[in-house]
Amino acid sequence: MTTREFWDQHAATFDDEPDHGLRDPRVRDAWARLLLPLVPEASCVVDLGCGTGSLSVLLAEAGHDVHGLDLSEEMVRAARAKASAAGVAVEFGTGDAAHPPHPKASFDVVLARHVLWALPDPAAALEEWVSLLAPDGVLLLVEGRWSTGAGLTSAQTRELVLGVRAEAVVTPLTSEDLWGRSIDDERYLLVSRR
């Protein structure tokens, strides 16, 4: 089974996880409080590996010009339906987050949640992601090292980002409000502004 087929099969139930679907107002509000202050006003944002588009829609509702990209056609279909239901315009496309088909220096913010760890060459992907940023652009990564052993530690992700940027500020994400339940693994936000 290919990666695309795997995610196509999981698209229908992907939003069942509280932090994926953001259906619980408490969880949705926690993500808004976390991310919105980090995104400059009226930014052009690319959400790489956007899944069903929950964060894309959240950012679009806040007035940002959002472009979502996901490998799975079924995820993108769900994301388009979600944006339509919310009454916001988001440009969703199907493609490989490791090699985004966007012009260099075309975004104020590059956002990826739980994507970097799953890529075959995270360092190469980060180089491409950073190339998408306009001067003074912001890189926002939500990652983790999960109880299954999968993922990247914050130290690993910080080291990867410092290979392509001068700053990598890590904030642990331990609040139950973000995940809809208590967690016992490492989850974090990495912000890089330069």
Above 90 in pLDDT, residue 1? no
| Percentage of residues in the chain having pLDDT higher than 90 | 92
Instruction: Pull the structure tokens for residue 146.
Output: 């999960």
Instruction: Pull the structure tokens for residue 179.
Output: 């995940």
pLDDT at 147: 86
Which residues are CB-neighbours of 173 under 8 A, at least 6 positions away? 34, 142, 144, 179, 187, 188, 189
Q: Is the dihedral of CA 122, 126, 128, 132 positive or negative?
A: positive
Q: Classify 3-11+18-192 by CATH class.
A: alpha beta
Q: What is the mean pLDDT of the chain?
A: 96
Which residues are CB-neighbours of 93 under 8 A, at least 6 positions away? 67, 68, 69, 76, 101
Q: What is the largest CA-CA distance in the chain?
A: 41
Instruction: Pull the structure tokens for residue 157.
Output: 């992700």
Q: Where are the alpha helices (DSSP H) in 36-98?
A: 54-61, 73-86
pTM summary value: 0.95
Whether 28 contacts 58, CB under 8 Å: yes
Report, as an integer, the average pLDDT of 22-34.
96
Sequence ranges of the domains in the chain: 3-11+18-192
Above 90 in pLDDT, residue 3? no
